[in-house]
């Protein structure tokens, strides 16, 4: 009887707009720029909401630095997610915004402020039964 082949575990991004490098320091967020009107979006796109075209779209590397636009301290979540934590919308210099958690700051209102400079980091957040690792991004004070 032949043995079942085992697949080599992979490292995978948790979201499609996170691109993984050889090391976690080389990870980055990717955007899509409409080649018809120049509008930039976070992540892959098939349709431009501004000019109604179906592309083409060019992939662009987004900055790892940004500013907190708005934030909230979350005190209630689903089981297995420790609370409180800080959820934020981070403006990137390219003119797009991403939703992310802010780590490295005690989740108290006096520790956060609008316009806070932040930097993206990535980390392994889970592993599936086959041993594949999943990488997510978050922001920390710059």
How many angstroms separate the CA atoms of 84 and 69, rounded?
A: 19
**2 located within any domain:** no
Residue 119, in any domain of the structure:
yes
Q: Is residue 4 included in any domain, yes or no?
A: no
Expressed as residue numbers, the domain containing 83 is: 11-141
Indicate whether 5 belongs to any domain: no
- Other beta carbons within 10 angstroms of residue 120's beta carbon come to 22
| Cα–Cα distance for residue pair 61/102, rounded to 1 Å | 21
Structure confidence by residue, pLDDT tens digits, 95-128: 999 999 999 999 999 999 999 999 999 999 999 9
Residue where the block lists tokens 């005690």: 106
* 3 found inside a domain: no
pLDDT at position 55 is 84
| Residue 68 forms part of a structural domain | yes
Give how many domains the chain has, as a whole number. Answer: 1
* pTM for this prediction: 0.89
């Amino acid at each position: 009887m032949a043995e079942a082949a085992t697949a080599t575990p992979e490292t995978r991004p948790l979201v499609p707009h996170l691109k993984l490098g050889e090391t976690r320091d080389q990870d980055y967020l990717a955007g899509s720029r409409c080649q018809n009107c120049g509008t930039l979006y976070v992540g892959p796109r098939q349709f431009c909401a501004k000019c109604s075209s179906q592309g083409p779209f060019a992939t662009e590397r987004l900055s790892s630095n940004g500013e907190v636009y708005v934030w909230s301290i979350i005190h209630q979540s689903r089981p297995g997610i420790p609370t409180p934590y800080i959820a934020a919308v981070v403006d990137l210099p390219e003119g797009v915004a991403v939703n992310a958690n802010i780590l490295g700051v005690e989740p108290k209102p006096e520790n956060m402020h609008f316009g806070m400079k932040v930097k993206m980091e990535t980390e392994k957040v889970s592993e599936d039964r086959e041993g594949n690792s999943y990488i997510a991004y978050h922001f920390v004070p710059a």
